[in-house]
Amino acid sequence: MQYYNHVTEAIGNTPLVKLNKVTEGIKGTILAKVEYFNPGNSVKDRMAIRMIEDAEKAGILKPGGTIIEGTSGNTGMGLALAAQAKGYKCIFTMPDKQSKEKMDILRAVGAEVVVTPTNVTPDDPRSYYSVARQLNQDIPNSFYPNQYDNLSNTAAHYEGTGPEIWKQTDGKVTVFAAGVGTGGTICGTGKYLKEQNPNLKVIGLDTYGSVFKKYKETGIFDENEIYSYATEGIGEDILPKNVDFDVIDQFIKVTDKDAALMARRLSKEEGLFVGWSSGSAVYGALEYARQHMTENDVMVIILPDHGTRYLGKIYNDEWMKNQGYLD
């Protein structure tokens, strides 16, 4: 009989799917790595289980412990599934800009969710970073994975996602594109792929209101670049340790509106019911492809999560109209 002992064993080995309609007029082959095939419906399952297992090996996470993390939703889902398998409790802090669906999903899988204000600085005691750290200090036998600075995040993709893409493309991938939030996905995967092909280009997709693009281009952390944006899961107002700027060749910024509309196109035209940052990734990656790719190039784009996380937002016509994204 073929079966898994727990759903977490089904993480990884997600499919590559060729994009056909949204890529019209673009040279080369554009492939999407569809990460919602993971059991928690996102790419974050990969690093969530790795952070837990590495913490267990290091003796940081002990039986009966509580996992406390600041999350935009998807890492929390991956951690919650791992916690179920291993018998831990979960408390997640989330900024209030995140979708209600994400909060409800985390509660459905047994986690406690603490909602914090979005429009505060990272070191403000009310921020989701600060609240998670404080809970970790206050609750005995608790573990704060800190996905931003925990290098197990990058390692999960260096050892998993990167080799998968190399094998699936038969070593023909020439461009790798992904949104940048914690940095683990793009830097772990990109590092592995560049070791196989030093000429491969790694393109990071950023959002307006985030510091990454200017920091890469100037080395300046410009607080004037930081402002509130709506897209969930990419961009930052901090510099996570998992972001290795030497791995990323170029950043492209994508607006909230362009990202939302591209996500809807992927759903309607490609049959890929994806989340908001998937729209960011594809929109920005295709902008690069139009300018730089040839017939012989093969681009792989990470599609991080599933559209069910955004039913009340980008897949709701009234919400889209209220944001000025639809006429």
Would you state the pLDDT for residue 327?
86
pLDDT over threshold 90, residue 159: yes
**Would you say residue 153 lies in a domain?**
no
Q: Angle at Cα 118 formed by Cα 227 and Cα 187, nearest 5°?
A: 70
Report the alpha-carbon distance of residue 111 to residue 71 in Å, rounded: 12
Which domain range does residue 66 map to? 44-143
Specify whether 122 is located in the same domain as 223.
Answer: no
Q: What average pLDDT does range 314-322 have in this prediction?
A: 97
Would you state the pLDDT for residue 119?
87
Report the alpha-carbon distance of residue 85 to residue 9 in Å, rounded: 10
Specify whether 12 is located in the same domain as 85.
Answer: no
Closest CA relative to residue 262, chosen from 285, 237, 235: 285
Specify whether 207 is located in the same domain as 241.
Answer: yes
Report the alpha-carbon distance of residue 276 to residue 310 in Å, rounded: 7
Report the alpha-carbon distance of residue 8 to residue 311 in Å, rounded: 25
**Would you say residue 149 lies in a domain?**
no
Would you state the pLDDT for residue 72?
85
Report the alpha-carbon distance of residue 74 to residue 229 in Å, rounded: 18
Tell me which of 27, 33, 44, 97 is the catalytic residue.
44
pLDDT over threshold 90, residue 122: no
Share of the chain above pLDDT 90, in %: 95
Number of domains forming the structure of the chain:
2
Specify whether 209 is located in the same domain as 113.
Answer: no
Specify whether 193 is located in the same domain as 308.
Answer: yes
Specify whether 217 is located in the same domain as 311.
Answer: yes
Instruction: Give per-residue pLDDT as tens, 57-113.
Output: 999 999 999 999 999 889 999 999 999 999 999 999 999 988 889 999 999 999 999
The CATH number of whichever domain residue 239 belongs to comes to 3.40.50.1100
Helix (H) or strand (E) holding 30: strand 29-34
Specify whether 74 is located in the same domain as 94.
Answer: yes
Q: Are 98 and 107 in contact (CB under 8 A)?
A: no
The single residue listed with the structure tokens 């993709």 is 157
Specify whether 22 is located in the same domain as 135.
Answer: no
94 three-state secondary structure = strand
Specify whether 256 is located in the same domain as 314.
Answer: yes
Specify whether 166 is located in the same domain as 132.
Answer: no
Annotation marks residue 100 as catalytic: no
Specify whether 188 is located in the same domain as 134.
Answer: no
Instruction: Give per-residue pLDDT as tens, 165-201.
Output: 999 999 999 999 999 999 999 999 999 999 999 999 9
Closest CA relative to residue 264, chosen from 311, 194, 324, 215: 311
